[in-house]
Every structure is written in structure tokens, then in C-alpha cells.
A and B are shown apart, each in its own frame.
Chain A
């Protein structure tokens, strides 16, 4: 699948943003946060900024961005529509929670709880857009949803941790969440890549054409001499050796090195903590974007079976 930059940025930035909102809501509901206005402003600008940047970026690949509002209508059948509704709805509890924090200097726990649930539901809906597509085996499997949740949590918790260290937040509650998110991301991606390479449940050129009774099916001539939309959008191919390298970058830069930095930050002084966490955030961003690029680039669509692919 063609890795469109707008969609990569959307899923990476808004995934982390919604997870950070979920943690802000969760810790607020748990009574761990104090309503200090400055740290509140920074937190909401940070998290809502990431979310908004991601959502706006996602509209860039539309043929008619001015009609994007129509996407809120078909939530009964479409995960993309559900994602649209949830992503915008989340601004409501976020706004109420922010008003309580910034204006009334009070943590409204119920709003925090609602924000947390709504933000997590949004990440799930984003993942389901991909997980529900049967023609793409690399997405239509059990690893997609936990992958999006874990990677969102890893990014969001890292941002939250850095924010909590920068601001006069009394407790530093998100270290555990960051570590769990990073370990879970690494484990899920390793299992996911193993599943991809195993070739399990792949469709074949034989079942795509129904000609398997004669033997192996090969393309003789393509229907057209030049690339068409289908090949540009769905026929994206990546060299195997690059995939392996990029997987290692995603694994180490995205998850393992940030994990080491987070664990080291538990032992060091405040100033070193800040540096370590800032490095972890940057490395995680590089790894997350690399992984998201691979998520698209490695995904094969069944339409390629009609263009010479043996399996998809």
C-alpha cells in the first residue's frame, strides 16, 4: 500500500495525542494531578495540538477536503466515520476538563474519566479502519488493534512523562505507563512481523483467478502498459532488505532505546531526567513514523494478484 505522508503523520501524531489526553483524564480521575494552570495550559496545548495537527493532516489526502464534514454521517457501518465522530467528540470532554482545570482550577474527575474513555475509543476506531479491510492481510489481523493502542500509549506516556518532569507536577505517575507501552509495542510488533513473514492466510493468484486447477498462475501480459491508480495506490513495493533494516530502526529507535532512557531516568538527577526523556521522545517519534511507514509499505493488497503477485 502506498505510504501517504498525510496518513502516517495523522496516525502517529493523533495516536500519541489521544493517548496523552487519555492519561491526563485517567490520572485526573484518579486524583493524582493538581490543577496548576500553567502545567494545564502546556498539557492541553501539547496533546490537543498533536491531535489537531494529525486530524488536519489526514484531510490533506482527500480529493475533496471541503466535504470532510460529510464523513460524520455513516457511523452505523463505517469505521472511518466512527473514527471521525469519536475524534471530534473527544474535544467535548477535553474542553470541559480543560475549563475546570484552567478556569476553575479544579480537576473535574468525571470529565477526566469521560475524556479517557473517549480518547481510547478514538484510537481503537483508528486501528479498526485498517483492521477491518479484508483484502489487506497485513492489516486484517489480531495484531493491528493492540499495535495501535500500545504505540499510542508509548508515545503519549513519553510525552506525558516529559511534561510531568518539566512542570511542577507533584507525582510522576506515567513512567510505568511509558515502560509498559514501550515493552508492549516492541513485543506486539515482533509477533506482528513474525505473522507477516509466515505467509499465513495469504490469498493466491490461483484463488484470485480461479485458474488453479491448471497449475500455477502467472501474468502473461498486463492490461495496460503504464501504471494506473491501482498500481500506484495498492501496488507499492519495497525491497525486502530495506524492510528488515527499517524494522530494526523501528524496534530500537521507537521502543528499545526509549525504554532504556526511561529506565535510566528513574535513577538520575532531575536535569539528566529531562535530557533522557527528551531524547526518548525524539527517538520514539522517529521509530513510530518508521513503523507506520512500514505498516503501509509492507502491506500487500489482493489486487496485486491480478498484476503478477503470487501471494498477497
Chain B
């Protein structure tokens, strides 16, 4: 059913991504590919994997941007995956019922057996979260690692999406953004987490934490940036070295 759930629960599972911490190592994207190519939406097909121009299906892509100029400019690593929107047009445009949003936790999924591969959902997603698998002929997307987060065969600490589990710097957080008391919700409240392209009205569940602003002087050590003095000038260096310099300069 591609209508949105009539009675969605308050649970909104999603990710919080800290742009201030992310170092752009792509480990989250690699571990996502590794887990999901054997997971719920498997395979994540690669084309020409050993050829001249390899490409393929990924659920998570790490963009890098520069914002602003000079000392106020920033280099920002920007991981982007499905935002599991509250108003996902990718779901409502689907003509077959393949695309759906789960009422119980808000995760947006694709039923591969119903997908006709019309690609309209990928056009309806402003964020580029959906990628078509040409080999299988169906659309694929992030499942929020539905096969990890509810998997009681895994240790409890591992019941998080693969991208969160692998992030070496703790820039990715997973939790219930519908619960204002959850750790992720508190993080969003403290750090003024924001939505991407809020003007389109998709109401993404995933939030991005902005760069901390008190880093404007981070590159400054406090030392004056005076040019080095000429060592032959009176009052600098040792008398012996000045004599040596004069002697060798003759």
C-alpha cells in the first residue's frame, strides 16, 4: 500500500549525523555495502567491477563540500543516505505498492517482488536516496539495516545500522527520533540538528548536526605572524655569528 500509514506510531527510527565530527573516511559507506549486499535488499549489484569504469548500487554516499571562503570557510564531509522522511513522496508516487513506509517504526522500504522498475520513486526523492539495480530490474534503497536492528542473533551492542556500527569517530548515531527523551533527540535538541531542504516539506527523520561555530580561531596559536629579522642586524643572534657572516660575505 503506497498510501502513508493512517495511524503511524510515535516511533521514528533514524540517524543523526554529526558533520562536525565526520572525517570523510567512507568507512560507513563501505560497511553499508558489505552488510547490505548480503542483507534484506541483496545484492547491491556492481557493474564492470573489474573494468575501466566500475559503478554500482550503494545506499550511502559520502560527499565533500567546501563552504565559505578563507578563514571562515569550511571543508565538510557529508554522508547521505535515505532520510526515512515522514512525508516520503517516493512512497506515495509508487503505482504498485512496492514502496511503503512502515507504521510501527517509520522505516521506508521497497518490496522487490512488487517493484516494476518504473524509477518514478527515484525521481520523487529530492535527496537521491534510491538507486536502481539494472541487473535485478528493481529499485533499491537503505533499509536502516532492518536485518540488524531487530536481529536477536546479534549481540545487543551490534543491533544498530552497519554505518553506525563502523564509524570510527562516532559521527553517526541511531535511535528513535519520535521519542523526545531518546539520546538522539536530546543530541538534536542540544546541537540544533537540522533537516535537509526543509522547504520541500518531506520532513526527513534523519537529522544533521551542524559544525560547531566556536572553531573560527582554531587555526590560530596566538603567536604573532612577524617576519623573521635579518640575523646581521644589531641585537639579533650572537656576536660570533655576526662576525662569521661578515667574514664569509667578503
Contact = CB atoms under 8 A, between A and B. Distances in A.
Contacts of B132: 63, 229, 233
Interface stretch (B60-68, B142-150, B240-248): B60-68
Given A67-B114, A135-B124, A136-B123, A224 B66 contact: no
Interface string B56-83: 1110011111111100111110101000
A262 to B, nearest CB: 36
A230 interface: yes
B154 interface: no
B194 A210 contact: yes
B103 interface: no
Interface string A216-239: 111111111011111001100000
A226 to B, nearest CB: 5
A74 B199 contact: no
A213 B196 CA distance: 14
Given A208-B196, A306-B80, A234 B123 contact: yes
B206 to A, nearest CB: 12
A78 interface: yes
Interface in A185-211: 203, 205, 207-211
Interface in A224-262: 224, 226-230, 233-234
Q: Is the interface of B mostly helix, strand, loop or mixed?
A: loop
Query: Considering residues A80, A214, A303, which has the most beta carbons from chain B within 10 angstroms of its beta carbon?
Result: A214
Given A134-B200, A209-B67, A209-B76, A70 B114 contact: yes
Contacts of B125: 135, 303
A302 interface: yes
A234 B122 contact: yes
Interface in B172-223: 194-202, 208, 210-211
Given A135-B200, A220-B66, A227-B53, A233 B122 contact: yes
A217 B65 contact: yes
B236 interface: no
Contact of B196 (A67, A210, A226, A301): A210
Contact of B116 (A63, A76, A211, A212): A63
Interface in B123-176: 123-128, 131-134, 136-139
Contacts of A135: 123-126, 200
B55 A226 contact: yes
B96 A67 contact: yes
Contacts of B128: 230, 234, 301, 303, 306
Nearest to B213: A213
Interface stretch (B8-16, B35-43, B86-94): B86-94
A218 B65 contact: yes
Interface of A: 1, 61-65, 67-68, 70-74, 76-81, 84, 129, 132-136, 203, 205, 207-224, 226-230, 233-234, 301-303, 306-307
